[in-house]
Structure 1
Amino acid sequence: MYYGAYWPAEYARFMGRPEDVSSAPFTDQTHFLQLVLQAIYNERAAQLLYRDLEVRAETPFQKRQIRHAYDDEVKHERLLNQLYHNLTGQHPQVANPPRKEIPDFQTALRSAFEDELEAVELYRDMYLMTSLTWVRDVMIQLLTDEFEHSTRFSYIRAEL
């Protein structure tokens, strides 16, 4: 059986490398939960922006791409709320972000593109903070969706 550079914890223990074995499911659970709350806020802010972008989009293609990202952001907020509740037993308390003024479609689209890339990095970092498979599954779903959104927005920007 070959595992490359990544050894499961049970094999690391067998190989006599106790420093590779961690029984803690999070590197810092308090920080992880703070990031979940920040992510919920960010997902809500993205929803507001995408509603405004969809209204300003000029073609059906642009509207479809933005609507797809909006629908995913709604799903992400729900997943993050469930994640927080499952980890703490409490519902997250997150303020609603203010609606930002959009100067023009192109500028707002660029901002959305950059925000999506930042979200990819956030979810990647959160993925690496835990060894819980079910939490990692949520993080990888969020990460891949956000990367897809950046690709969709990049394509719209190339069209303009």
Structure 2
Amino acid sequence: MYYNEYGSYGRYTYDQTTPFTSIMDTSATVQQTQTTDIFTYPQNFQGALDLIQHALSGETEDRMFYSWLLEHAPSDEDRQIISGIRDNEIGHYELFNQLYLDLTGMMPQEVTGEQFVPPESYCDGLARALLGEQNAVQRYRKILYAMQHRVHINMMTEIITDEIRHGILYNYLYAKNGCRG
């Protein structure tokens, strides 16, 4: 089954170029592909800005998703964990806004994200969240590679390590609730 860029990390070869996919445009429906070296600044800078815009574009959908998960969570522990993750994600939104402003001198453009589609079950929601965290880590590393200043590197490290921790927590909830793939 194919899950939005889900796959193995594979070996990195730093002296070869790797496709960098820009996933944003003004309509948020057209995908553009530009091949560039994801490890080399400044070639990777525009792609990183596009990925920051993408991270900011899903805020409304994300909030609806977290509300849905909280409504369907079967225990106080589940609700507490999901609320903590939601609060971290709100903080990430602010960090991405600040990062974009620092890098461009402009506030990011408002871009409409995806439409919220409720999961079929709580377990399906946890699976979606777990894969979403995995995919976020892969995208956010590409942003990290384009950062030149320690403060920005630290901001991205904070976000990425939170996303990894969120994945672990969703995996815990998935197992705790007896979810099956």
Q: Where on the TM-score scale, by shorter chain, does this alignment land: which range?
A: 0.7 to 0.9
Which structure: larger Rg?
1
Counterpart Cα distance in 2 of 1:75 and 1:133: 19
The percent identity for this pair of structures is 26
CA deviation after TM superposition for structure 1 residue 33, in Å: 0.8
Aligned residue among 115, 122, 129 for 2:146 = 129
CA deviation after TM superposition for structure 1 residue 95, in Å: 2.6
Q: Which residue of 2 aligns with 1:88?
A: 104
Q: 3-state DSSP class of the match of 1:58?
A: coil
- Return 5+ residue gaps in structure 2 as ranges: 1-39
TM-score (structure 2 length as normaliser): 0.70
The count of residues paired between Structure 1 and Structure 2 equals 137
Q: Which residue of 2 aligns with 1:106?
A: 123
Aligned residue among 91, 101, 117 for 1:75 = 91
After TM superposition, the runs of 4+ consecutive aligned structure 1 residues lying more than 6 A away are none
Taking only aligned residues, the RMSD between alpha carbons, in angstroms, comes to 1.7
TM-score (structure 1 length as normaliser): 0.78
More strand by share: 2
Counterpart Cα distance in 2 of 1:157 and 1:56: 13
Aligned residue among 31, 37, 48 for 2:64 = 48
Q: 3-state DSSP class of the match of 1:99?
A: coil
> Which residue identity is paired with 2:148?
S
Q: 3-state DSSP class of the match of 1:130?
A: coil
- 8 Å Cα contact 1:76-1:142 kept in structure 2: yes
CA deviation after TM superposition for structure 1 residue 132, in Å: 2.0
> Which residue identity is paired with 1:155?
Y
Please say if 1:117 is aligned against 2:117.
no
- Return 5+ residue gaps in structure 1 as ranges: 1-23
CA deviation after TM superposition for structure 1 residue 120, in Å: 1.1
Counterpart Cα distance in 1 of 2:103 and 2:83: 30
